[in-house]
Each structure stands twice: as structure tokens, then as C-alpha cells.
Amino acid sequence: MQAAGKRQKRTISGWLVLDKPYDMTSTQAVGKVRWLFAAAKAGHAGTLDPLATGILPIALGEATKAVPHVQDGRKVYRFEVRWGSTTSTDDAEGEVVAVSDRRPAEAEILAALPQFTGTIEQVPPTFSAIKVGGERAYDLARAGEAVELKPREIAIDSLGLVAHDVETSTFEVTCGKGTYVRALARDLAERLGTRGHVARLHRAAVGDFHDADAVRLADLEAMSPAERDAVLKPVAAGLGTLCEVRVRGEQATTLRNGNPVLLTGGGAPVALDAAWASFAGEVVATGSVVRGQFVPRRVFNL
């Protein structure tokens, strides 16, 4: 018998593009959204620091199966660097650990930016979720242990200066998975012969989800249940980076049973490394096309 006052969970699926508020963890944001929708299952596509705001795609139900595809999408960040000090966390939350009187000129900054585009190596911040010997780096750092992280290759499509004054500069970066904006600010400051940390950070896009799609948590809380459901984006909205392959009803049933289907017709693809199969506008499966057959890797029950 169900306990008194316990909410009934719903098998609801879709994407909620949240404008995550300042000073809230991604896990807290997911928990709040899951509660508001009374969703049986929820997850997020890419952690956003507590002090950051902006796009946090939250997957409900079957959309959680598409999370890896959204996480692999390009990200756009707008961030403000405060010159003259490095902090333990490379953002405004940490303690100042080094200072410099030098303030870079706009021309110097513009000249340095091309060195931080393309495929570059980056050492993640000490305070990060990367595991070292089975432990999170930030847990080791908080415990006072020395943490050495290896450089990793990251891809930065573009990095531009948006605004500049003596003490701060604002940038916009478009980058790939695994890029740490805090490390980018740290390294840029060092290249310019000074110190710096991220004072403000806003994520403006993740894959196909942008600021224009985002819903504020306060607005979500003020909505009725029906209004909340109406702002959800379909599960397919998280698969924009993949090719869509339309299948017939009987093929959809076969795919949902985990079996491949032969694609027919003049425009049927012969080979695709990654694709998603659809029927009547709904996601059936993600997978690949091999020798004219759609081979499912993950099936969706919508």
C-alpha cells in the first residue's frame, strides 16, 4: 500500500532545457526538476559548476538514453575573467593563491587568442570531477592532497573578446567536450604574463539547445503541471547531431525488439556510423547502418 503523502511517479519522457540558476549544483537542479514533473527517471547532459548559470539540458524518462549524444555536442560559453589574481579553484569561489599587478591591454589579448583555438592541450583544474586513483580530484584537493592532472587534448572552435576594461575582460568560446573554461582563463592569463580567474560563467548552448530554449526555474515552479509538460522538448531534440532514418511500423517493432532491419527504397543509406531511426516522428532506436541494415544499439520505448 502506498504511503500517505508519497507522490506517484510518472513515466514521462522529454527534455527540459533549464537556465540553471547561480549557486545551485547540477545534481540539485535535476532533483528539483524531477520533483516538479514527478518523473520516474531524470538526468543531465553535462555538469555545470554551481557558480555558473545557463543551459543545463535535463533528460526525463527515455530521453536519458540520449544523454551521451547531447554531451558530445558543441558548447558555447560566455565568461568574464578578472585579471590580477589566481584562485585555488580558478573561479570566484576559491581562495586567492597568487597575484599580479600586470593588466593586459586589449591588443595583447587579441593577439594571444589564436593560440587558444583549434586542437590544444589543457591541464584540467585541480578542483574538477576527474578521477585520480579512483577519487575525484576536488575531493583530494579539499583534503589538502597534492593533485597532478595530465594534459588532455581539447577542441576550441572559436574564442573571441566581447568586452574589455582594465580589471576584467569578457569572452565567448565555442568548444568541444571536456573543455574547462576555468583552465582556459588560467592559461590565457599566464600567457599574457599575469594572473586571472573566472569571475562569471554562463553556458549559452549545448548541442542544439540554446538560451532561447531555456526555462528559468522560478518560472517552472510557477507553472501548472500541464504548462510544465508543454515546455518539454521531444526526446528526438537530443539527437540533432545524428542522421535520421525513417522506418515503417513493422520495422519499428523489429528494432524495438533489438533486431536489425533492412532499409529499402531509393534514398535508403547503405552505411552510417551513427544514426537514429524514427517512426511517426518518435525515436525508435539509435545505432548504425551497416550494409544497408539499421543495427540498433539502444532502443526507445515511446
Residue 6 maps to a domain: no
Domain identity same for 59 and 168: no
Q: Are residues 230 and 274 in the same domain?
A: no
* Per-residue model confidence (pLDDT) at position 1: 43
- In tens, the pLDDT along 62-94 reads 999 999 999 999 999 999 999 999 998 899 988
Cα distance between residue 231 and residue 40, in whole Å? 18
Domain annotation covers residue 8: no
Note whether 93 and 195 are same-domain residues. yes
Alpha carbon distance 22, 8 (integer Å): 30
Q: How far apart are alpha carbons 187 and 49 in whole angstroms?
A: 19
**pLDDT reported for residue 266:** 81
Residue 83 and residue 199 in one domain: yes
Q: 99 and 191 share a domain?
A: yes
Same domain, 97 and 160: yes
Do residue 131 and residue 60 come from a single domain? Answer: no
Residues 219, 187 share a domain: no
Instruction: Name the residue range of residue 226's domain.
Output: 14-73+208-235
The amino acid that residue 220 corresponds to is L
**Residue numbers annotated as active site:** 49
Residue 150 pLDDT: 83
* CA–CA distance, 302 with 108 (Å, rounded to integer): 54
Question: How many CB atoms lie under 10 A from the CB of residue 63?
Answer: 32
Is 33 among the domain residues? yes
Q: Which three cell numbers stand for residue 60?
A: 526525463
Buried b (16+ CB within 10 A) or exposed e, 74-85: bbbbbbbbbbbb
Residue 1 lies in a domain: no
Mean pLDDT, each 10-residue run in order, the chain (302 residues):
66 97 94 96 91 96 95 95 95 93 98 97 79 66 69 96 97 95 96 97 96 96 96 95 94 97 91 96 96 96 89
Sheet with 272-279: list strands edge to edge.
243-246, 272-279, 282-290, 293-299, 261-262
Whether residues 92 and 179 fall in one domain: yes
Are both 160 and 187 inside the same structural domain?
A: yes
Within a domain: residue 7? Answer: no
In a domain, 2, yes or no: no
Residue where a domain stops, chosen among 219, 235, 251: 235
**Would you say 27 and 58 are in contact if contact means Cβ atoms under 8 Å apart?**
no
Q: What was the pLDDT predicted at 284?
A: 97
- CATH number, domain containing residue 81: 3.30.2350.10
Predicted pLDDT at 138: 64
Would you state the torsion angle of the CA atoms of residues 132, 46, 239, 10, taken in this order, to the nearest 10 degrees? 110
Q: Of 235, 253, 275, which residue constitutes the final position of a domain?
A: 235
pLDDT of residue 230: 96
* Tally of structural domains, the chain: 3
Residue 21 backbone dihedrals phi, psi, to 5 degrees: -75, 165
Predicted confidence at residue 2, as pLDDT, reads 47
